[in-house]
Chain A
Amino acid sequence: MFKFIIRRVVRAFVALILFQSLLFTLIHALPYDVTAFTLAGPSWREFMQRQLGLDLPLWTQYFRWLGKFLQFDLGVSFQNWPASVSQILFSRISRTLLLFFSAAILAYLLGIWLGKVIAWRRGGWVEFGVTLGGVATYTSFAPWLGFVMINIFGWYLGWLPYQRLVNPNVWFNAPVMIDSLLARMVVTCVIACGAFLVVRRASQSIKTNHWRWTSQAGGIVIIGFGIGAWWSRSGLSYLALDVLAHLTLPLATVVLLSFGETMMIMRAAMLETKHEDYVLTARAKGLPDQVIRDRHVARNAILPVITRLALNLPFILVGSLVIERVFMWQAMGEIIFNAIEYQDIPVILGILSMVGILALIAHILLDILYTYLDPRVRYIGVE
Chain B
Amino acid sequence: MLEEGSKVSTREKLRTYLLHRWVHRRWFYTHWDLFIQQPLGRLGLIMIFIFGLMALSHPILMKTLWHPTIFDPFVGFDTAIMPHPTTPSWRHLLGTDNFGRDVLSQLLISTQTSFSVGIIAAIIAVTISTLLGGMAGYFGGVIDAIIMGISDVFVLLPAPILLLIFGLLFRLEWPMVAIAYGIVTGLGGQTIVVKSHTLKIKVKPFIEAARAAGGGGGHIIRKHILPGLLSLTIVHAVFTVVGAVLTESLLSYFGRTRYYLSWGTMIWIGQQTFRWFTLEGQWHVILPPALAIMLFCSAFYLVGRALDEVFNPQLRVR
A residues sitting closer than 8 Å to B (CB atoms) are 11-12, 14-15, 18-19, 22, 26-27, 30-32, 122-123, 128, 131-132, 135-136, 138-144, 147, 151, 155-156, 264, 268, 271-272, 274-275, 311, 314-315, 317-318, 321-322, 325, 336, 340-341, 343, 348, 352, 355-356, 359-360, 363
Contact = CB atoms under 8 A, between A and B. Distances in A.
Interface string B21-44: 000000000000000000110000
Interface in B290-318: 290, 293-294, 297-298, 301-302, 305, 308, 312, 314-315, 317
B160 interface: yes
B115 to A, nearest CB: 16
Nearest to A322: B250
Contacts of A356: 156-157
B32 to A, nearest CB: 20
Interface in B240-255: 242, 246, 249-250, 253-254
B132 interface: no
Given A122-B317, A131-B40, A136-B294, A144 B267 contact: yes
B294 A139 contact: yes
A11 to B, nearest CB: 7
Contacts of B40: 128, 131-132
B305 A264 contact: yes
B141 interface: no
Given A141-B253, A318-B160, A321-B160, 14 more contacts: A14-B149, A18-B149, A19-B156, A30-B165, A135-B302, A139-B297, A140-B294, A141-B250, A311-B189, A314-B157, A315-B158, A317-B161, A341-B168, A348-B165
A315 B290 CA distance: 21
B109 interface: no
A352 to B, nearest CB: 7
Contact of B156 (A32, A132, A355): A355
Contacts of B267: 141, 143-144
A136 to B, nearest CB: 6
B152 interface: yes
Nearest to B302: A135
B298 A317 contact: no
Nearest to A339: B165
A139 B301 contact: yes
A268 B161 contact: no
Interface of B: 39-40, 149, 152-153, 155-158, 160-162, 164-166, 168-169, 189, 242, 246, 249-250, 253-254, 263-264, 267, 271, 276-277, 279, 286, 290, 293-294, 297-298, 301-302, 305, 308, 312, 314-315, 317
**Top 4 closest pairs, chain A to chain B, by CB:** A139-B297, A15-B152, A144-B290, A356-B156
A380 to B, nearest CB: 16
B294 A141 contact: yes
B301 A138 contact: yes
15 contacts: A19-B157, A30-B166, A30-B169, A32-B169, A131-B40, A135-B302, A139-B242, A139-B294, A141-B250, A144-B293, A156-B279, A314-B157, A314-B158, A336-B161, A356-B156
The secondary structure that dominates the B interface is helix
Contact of A15 (B153, B279, B314): B153
A91 B41 CA distance: 47
Contacts of B277: 155
Contacts of A139: 242, 246, 293-294, 297-298, 301
Contacts of A138: 301
B315 A271 contact: yes
The secondary structure that dominates the A interface is helix
A135 B298 contact: yes
A149 B54 CA distance: 29
Contacts of B317: 122-123
B156 A15 contact: yes
Contact of B286 (A132, A135, A147, A321): A147
B314 A272 contact: yes
A356 B277 CA distance: 41
Contacts of A132: 40, 298
B164 A340 contact: yes
B27 to A, nearest CB: 23
Nearest to B242: A139
A275 B318 CA distance: 11
A284 B6 CA distance: 64
Contacts of B162: 26
Contacts of A318: 158, 160-161, 250
A343 B161 contact: no
Contacts of B254: 325
Nearest to B165: A340
Contacts of A26: 162, 165
B189 A321 contact: no
Contacts of A27: 165
Contacts of A317: 158, 161
Nearest to A142: B250
Nearest to B271: A147
A268 B157 contact: no
B279 A151 contact: yes
Contacts of A360: 156
A15 to B, nearest CB: 4
